[in-house]
Amino acid sequence: MKSVFSAPGDYIYFKSQVPLHRIPIGTKQWRYYDFGPKVVTPLICLPGTAGTADVYYKQIMCLSMKVGYRVISVDIPCVWNHQEWIQSFEKFLDAIDVHHIHLYGTSLGGFLAQLFAQHRPRRVKSLILSNTFLETRSFAAAMPWAPFVSWTPSFLLKRYVLTGIRDGPHEPFIADSVDFVVSQVETLSRDELASRLTLTVDSASVKPLLLSESFITIMDTNDYSAIPQQLKDQLSERYPGARRAYLKTGGDFPFLSRPDEVNLHLQLHLRRVGLEAQPELVQSIPKDGTGGGPSKENDKEDRDDEQKDNGGNPESNSEESQPSPSAPESSESHGLDEQLLSNAEIHFIDQKDSIILKPSAMSMNQHSAAAGILLRSTWEFFIFSLLPLYVDSLYIYSNNAWKLRQLV
């Protein structure tokens, strides 16, 4: 892990375009991003123990800003048992006037998504589960000090959470995803960390769901994950009729390290379950109050509350209040997402999805540019190779001509 973290350019652009909402519901504070047309049933993203609402910014940038889906990314509030989570999440949906939802959960978020689908089956239209599990028994056994987690100091909780993230040499994109998540862990309070660890070890298991397995997609990485393979196999055995989406690499946070592949699988899932995007409505969405979010007046109050929470420091909200800059040209996923999603054809073969990428005008232009570079390089090579020979011959000719002139 790097000692110094610098926010990616596309994340800075995201923060300038999508407002952060904070709403109190009872004693719980909900922090979330909401972008996309209100008329579209939202895809709600639930993070794992180390995640926040910010970790899904690449999904919002692609699926909401470009494709036309409504994506809501939430923080898990401070709840201390699973029944409290179900009730609190339902109140949150009522507060933002959302009834039916599609859930995308990773790790702990995937487990909580299954619990909500079990107890509120009428509200959940489909599930996308990534690197997650069915029961908490193994986590409780590995954490004997679980009864004292609520009294544990913040620095020990952060250390425990970070030890679950694999350290060592990574691919560049995976290393960047780890650095980003570590920076988000540093923003979590002691109560938030203790609450999430409590939800991880509190005794519970997912019972059979009323949701048809054809409306479930399991998306896992094949390299490594903090979730033991045995638990991921249990999940696959529970939903034999679910669609499978395997990523060759990606680590614990494929939504950050492999956003192009994850976004494609998410879009395939949403199309398959009958949810159509509304790209024509994206341009009409106001940047200061997007679909499903609070009104402009509530947004202003939320920003004031956030400024108070940050000790009145005006810099804490500068990214949301300043004029929106143009998208950075160096953003990796910004251009790749658009290219992949625009060139992908979806086919259904034997009840399984396959993605076929076809050549585009962009790839043809790239070949033309490569040919031009090769031709120019060859020309330069000949120039610089023959130039010394030409100079030498010119010198010899002039020298011989001078001697000949003296003899004459």
Helical packing angle, 9-17 and 332-343, nearest 10°: 80
Neighbours of 385 (CB within 10 A): 9
Least confident interval from 62-71, 92-101, 371-380: 371-380
Q: Tell me if residue 195 falls in helix, strand or coil.
A: helix
If we measure between CA atoms, which residue out of 115, 139, 117, 137 comes closest to residue 126? 117
Tens-place pLDDT, residues 72-85: 999 999 999 999 99
* 3-class secondary structure, 379: helix
Name the band, by pLDDT with cuts 50, 70 and 90, for residue 157. very high
Greater pLDDT, 118 or 363: 118
Task: Give exposure, 169-197, as e/b (b: 16+ Cβ within 10 Å).
Answer: ebeebbbbbbbbbbbbbeebebebbbbbb
Q: Point out which residues pair with 34 in neighbouring strands.
A: 72
Task: Give residue 166's pLDDT.
Answer: 81
Instruction: Write down the domain spans for the chain.
Output: 9-281
Reply yes or no on domain 9-281 having CATH 3.30.870.10.
no
pLDDT at 146: 87
Give this prediction's pTM.
0.72
pLDDT at 224: 85
Please choose, from the candidates 106, 81, 85, 69, the residue with its C-alpha nearest in 3D space to the C-alpha of residue 28.
Answer: 85
Query: Does the pLDDT at position 18 exceed 60?
Result: yes
Average pLDDT, the chain: 79
The pairing of beta strand 243-247 with beta strand 344-349: unpaired
Give residue-wise pLDDT tens across range 39-51. Answer: 999 999 999 999 9
Which pLDDT tens digit goes with each residue over 303-360?
344 444 444 343 333 333 333 444 443 344 444 444 444 444 443 333 444 443 333 3
Of residues 398 and 21, more confidence is placed in 21
**d(Cα 25, Cα 88) in Å, to the nearest integer?**
8
Q: Provide the token pair at 276.
A: 């159509």
Answer with the residue of higher pLDDT: 262 or 315.
262
Lowest mean per-residue pLDDT among 148-152, 233-237, 264-268, 370-374: 370-374
**CA–CA distance, 86 with 92 (Å, rounded to integer):** 10
**CA-wise closest residue to 44 among 76, 21, 75, 73:** 73
Handedness of CA 48, 54, 55, 58 (dihedral sign): positive
Q: How far apart are CA 270 and CA 264, in angstroms?
A: 10
Strands 43-46 and 71-74: parallel
Burial class (CB in 10 A: 0-12, 13-18, 19+), 338: middle
Percent of the chain with pLDDT over 70: 68
Confidence of residue 132 (pLDDT cuts 50, 70, 90): very high
**So what's the pLDDT on residue 403?**
52
**Could you give the residue ranges of the DSSP H alpha helices within 219-295?**
229-238, 254-257, 259-272
